Amino acid sequence: MSKNRGVWGRCLAAITLCAVASASVASEQWPTQTVRLVVPYATGGTTDLIARKLSERLTRELGQTFVVDNKPGAATNIGAQFVAQAKPDGNTILFGSVFQVLNHVFGPEPGFDMFKALEPVSLVADMPFVLAANPRTPYQNGRELIAAAKAEPKKLSVSHAQLDISLELLNNKAGMELLLVPYKGGGPATTDAMAGQVNMVYALVPVLLPHIQAGKLKPLAVTSATRFEGLPNVPTFVESGANFDMTMWYGMFLPAGTPKTIVDKLARVTESVMTSKEMVDAIRTAGANPRHTTPADFRSLLTKELTTWQGVSKSIPKLMQK
């Protein structure tokens, strides 16, 4: 009987070794089947556009089909949780954003810990917000706007679509009080600014860029730390006297437990894709900046951003009431 147990033990060990070896080979050969790129936003927006451009290039580079799967809802939590609970085999990727951090601080709180359930791979792109005014407004740049808003608190109105956290922080950093007018979508918020129903509109650059180029809106300042290449003559808020910079970034995550060989391979290919002239031109045309990072650098960025926003939530209690 003891001899039989020894035989079975050796067989079990051999089976386990074969399974580990098989898994190792599979991760080295990844991808071997269609890969799902989960976008936690609806179709048709800038996020969706960038994700589809990326999936096309990854398909070409890796020889397997990458398909975009839109899963919007709950401020990106639905799509993110789907990936967090997926099998960690590299075949389900999250096209995430800064909201993966913001939701942990300001809500809606996701049903998982992003830092434990998701594996950061690489940044892909980022873009600033822009504050643009109706052309008939008298101020010409961010500095003039801040001065006017300080002189007459809550007189100047700004439309936005669910960007109250960013605008409240801008108000705080600039020492002004713009009247925030929330809208359900960026389209109506922009239309009312162009029509003069509100003084200004605040949105991501790609949302407002066509209207700025058509002369229907006047850009006052952008939220990036340095000037945005697509609007080189528009100052930053830092230049305008407010210690405020914030961008919307996008990046890829895999489920925690995904083999390091797959994480590293996807990061390397992403760097190759995002530095190609084709993608650089496409991303900049969309109103964004192409980016790429190592998995370690991306994780460090996430940790830093979490600390920053936790500090913001404590220093500006009003934000926690949103």
Residues 132 and 218 in one domain: yes
For residues 167 and 162, give the distance between their C-alpha atoms in angstroms, rounded to a whole number: 10
Residues 215 and 132 in one domain: yes
Taking residue 26's Cβ as centre, other Cβ atoms within 10 Å add up to 16
Q: Which of 2-6, 43-47, 183-187, 257-261 has the least mean pLDDT?
A: 2-6
We report the CATH number of the domain holding residue 194 as 3.40.190.10
Residues 115 and 192 in one domain: no
Helix axes 260-274, 277-285, angle to 10 degrees: 70
- The range of the structural domain enclosing residue 53 comes to 33-127+247-321
24 within domain boundaries: no
Residues 120 and 263 in one domain: yes
pLDDT of 128 higher than 50: yes
18 within domain boundaries: no
Question: Of the candidates 249, 274, 253, which has an alpha carbon nearest to the alpha carbon of residue 263?
Answer: 253
200-204 and 289-290 strand pairing: unpaired
Residues 136 and 171 in one domain: yes
93 contacts 38 by C-beta, under 8 angstroms: yes
- For all residues of the chain together, what is the average pLDDT? 91
Please report the pLDDT score of residue 129 as a whole number. 96
Mean pLDDT over residues 232-237, rounded?
Answer: 96
Please, which pLDDT band fits residue 6 given cuts at 50, 70 and 90? low
Total domains, the chain: 2
Please report the pLDDT score of residue 7 as a whole number. 62
Residues 200 and 138 in one domain: yes
Residues 209 and 255 in one domain: no
Angle at 21 between CA 15 and CA 27, to 5 degrees: 135
45 within domain boundaries: yes
**Helix, strand, or coil here: 132?**
strand
Please report the pLDDT score of residue 10 as a whole number. 65
Mean pLDDT over residues 140-162, rounded?
Answer: 95
pLDDT of 159 higher than 70: yes
Residues 42 and 175 in one domain: no
Residues 120 and 256 in one domain: yes
* H or E segment and range at residue 159: strand 157-160
Please, which pLDDT band fits residue 316 given cuts at 50, 70 and 90? confident
129 contacts 163 by C-beta, under 8 angstroms: yes
Residue 46 CB contacts under 8 Å (≥ 6 apart), including other chains = 127, 204, 206, 207, 286, 287, 288
Residues 106 and 135 in one domain: no
Residue 5 CA, chain-centre distance (Å), reads 55
235 within domain boundaries: no
Residues 153 and 301 in one domain: no
* H or E segment and range at residue 126: strand 118-133
Please report the pLDDT score of residue 22 as a whole number. 47
Residues 79 and 104 in one domain: yes
We report the CATH number of the domain holding residue 59 as 3.40.190.150
